[in-house]
């Protein structure tokens, strides 16, 4: 049996929203009763944060990038996923980015805005979630806290996500990314959290397809959505019951990543498999091989503004730029 009872009532949740002056979700029914009201089916690019050469945020370049992404059939945009260098941003910058992206999206756009609100402490994560909801986020994506790794046992993580979901004015998406946090959010914790009325899904970036399949299987009937955290295992996630993906590669090959999901939905599995294979090398290049600096370099080649990273991240040496370009040329994307 789930550890959750009825949770926060709809009336109390809505009253709190207006007492605190927070912005209701664009879909009011989502704020009142999150479960099952926010469909995550589709592809989301985790947007890199554009910096000027002095490392200030280049909001004019962000506006240009958002306009280009809005033309791609994405389900929505993610602000401050790992590719957004959010750990290097101040609280004010993080909130302002969400506000600006909401402003830059046309009022007629049906794209969702997901915002990474995770912080190390539960209190700070709750506060950040409230601020991002007020700034325009439709849902928040909460990364696993990890600095005090020995203390981040199942009980601590369960309590953290429960407290955040209890207080968040918008739906919560769990974000498990062990390559950065070193902590792999356990299956037992994920399945139990799936019962929470304000937790609607998980972005699973670990790449363990067995675990992803178990999550899907054990959360059937709970209105809990699983999205792949990388284009490299997007097709496998869709085949096993996932609904979409948040993929770094989508920032530069958005149409192709969306096409992969379209082919799957239409039952064109042979073509989907071929496209998945073609995307693996470019995906590796902008993630584990060359990282955020590599992703930003490819953005420049593809007509976006990439710009520099914020230190201590370093730009790519020329030799690595050449290797990166070769990957995209040989894959047919440059």
Q: Which are the catalytic amino acids?
A: 203
DSSP letter for 175, please. Answer: E
d(CA 316, CA 306) in angstroms, rounded, equals 13
50: preceding bond cis by omega (within 30 degrees): no
CA distance 326 to 331: 8
CA distance 3 to 54: 49
Tokens 């790519």 locate to 316
Q: Tell me the β-bridge partners of 226.
A: 202
Strand partners, 199: 172
b/e sequence 131-162, b meaning 16+ C-beta within 10 Å = bbbbbbbbbbbbbbbbeeeeebeeeebbebbb
The 3-state secondary structure of 42-65, one letter per residue: EEECEECCCECCCCCECHHHHHHH
In sequence order, the 6+-apart residues with CB closer than 8 A to the CB of 322 are: none
Instruction: Give the residue from 247, 169, 258 showing the smallest Cα distance to 203.
Output: 247
DSSP 137: -
Enumerate the β-bridge partners of residue 246. Answer: 44
């Amino acid at each position: 049996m789930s550890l959750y009872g009825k949770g926060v009532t709809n009336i109390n949740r809505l009253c709190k929203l207006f007492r605190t002056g927070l912005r209701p979700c664009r879909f009011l029914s989502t704020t009142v009763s999150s479960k099952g009201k926010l469909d995550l089916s589709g592809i989301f690019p985790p947007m890199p944060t554009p910096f000027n050469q002095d490392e200030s945020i280049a909001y004019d370049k962000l506006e240009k990038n958002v306009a280009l992404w809005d033309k791609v059939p994405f389900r929505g945009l993610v602000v401050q996923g790992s590719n957004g260098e959010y750990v290097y941003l101040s609280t004010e910058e993080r909130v302002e980015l969400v506000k600006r992206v909401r402003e830059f999206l046309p009022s007629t756009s049906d794209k969702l805005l997901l915002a990474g609100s995770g912080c190390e402490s539960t209190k700070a994560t709750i506060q950040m979630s409230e601020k991002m909801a007020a700034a325009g986020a439709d849902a928040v994506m909460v990364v696993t806290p990890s600095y005090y790794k020995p203390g981040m046992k199942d009980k601590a993580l369960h309590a953290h996500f429960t407290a955040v979901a209890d207080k968040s004015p918008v739906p919560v998406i769990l974000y498990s990314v062990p390559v950065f946090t070193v902590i792999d959010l356990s299956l037992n914790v994920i399945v139990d959290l799936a019962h929470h009325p304000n937790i609607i899904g998980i972005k699973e970036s670990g790449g363990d397809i067995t675990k992803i399949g178990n999550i899907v299987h054990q959360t059937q009937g709970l209105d809990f959505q699983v999205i792949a955290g990388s284009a490299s295992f997007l097709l496998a996630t869709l085949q096993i019951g996932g609904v979409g993906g948040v993929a770094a590669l989508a920032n530069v090959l958005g149409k192709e990543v969306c096409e992969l999901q379209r082919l799957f939905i239409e039952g064109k599995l042979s073509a989907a498999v071929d496209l998945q294979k073609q995307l693996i090398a470019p995906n590796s290049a902008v993630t584990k091989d060359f990282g955020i600096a590599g992703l930003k370099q490819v953005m420049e080649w593809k007509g976006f503004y990439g710009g520099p990273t914020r230190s201590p991240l370093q730009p790519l040496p020329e030799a690595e730029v050449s290797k990166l370009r070769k990957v995209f040329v040989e894959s047919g994307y440059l």
